[in-house]
Amino acid sequence: MNMLTVDMVPVVLATGDPARVDEPVPAKFRKGDRVTVIELNGIGHNRLPSYIKAKTGTVTFDHGVFVFPDTSAHGKGPKPQHVYTICFTAKELWGEAGHASDRMYVDAWDDYLQPAS
C-alpha cells in the first residue's frame, strides 16, 4: 500500500498535482460566465456533488487543465479538460432555507457544465 508520510509532503507540494496536464485544451468558460450544472444520473462513480445538479452559478476561477477522473478511473483515457471554481448562492442551492448573503464555491470539470440559459 502506498502511503503519504509527513516527510513526503514538501516534495509532493513542490512537484504539483499529477492530475494536472500541460495540454492546449481550450477553455469553454471564462471568469464571470453563468453556467448550469448538468443532471448527471448515469451508473458509476463521478465527482459531481448531487446538491449542485441543475443549479446555476458563476465561474470565478479557471484552475487549468486536468485529467477527467470519470473517464480516467474507468480506463477510458484521461480526457483532459478545464476545472473551474463555480460560485453558487445559498438561495440557489437551498431555496428559502439559504441565507441571502451566503455563497458556496465548488470546483467542477467542463463536462459537468453548460452555458446558463
Indicate if the alpha-carbon torsion angle 85, 28, 41, 88 is positive or negative.
positive
pTM: 0.81
**Of 73, 97, 68, 71, nearest to 83 (Cα)?**
68
Percent of the chain with pLDDT over 90: 61
Q: What is the pLDDT of residue 1?
A: 45
Cα 57 to Cα 36: distance, rounded to the nearest angstrom = 6
Residue 78 banded pLDDT, cuts 50, 70, 90: confident
Query: Taking a C-beta distance cutoff of 8 angstroms, is the pair 73, 46 a contact?
Result: no
Q: Which domains does the chain have, with CATH numbers?
A: 21-115 (2.30.30.50)
Q: What is the pLDDT of residue 54?
A: 96
Average pLDDT, the chain: 89
Q: What is the pLDDT of residue 58?
A: 98
Q: What is the pLDDT of residue 70?
A: 85
**Of 109, 107, 89, nearest to 99 (Cα)?**
89
For the stretch 80-100, pLDDT in tens is 999 999 999 999 999 999 999
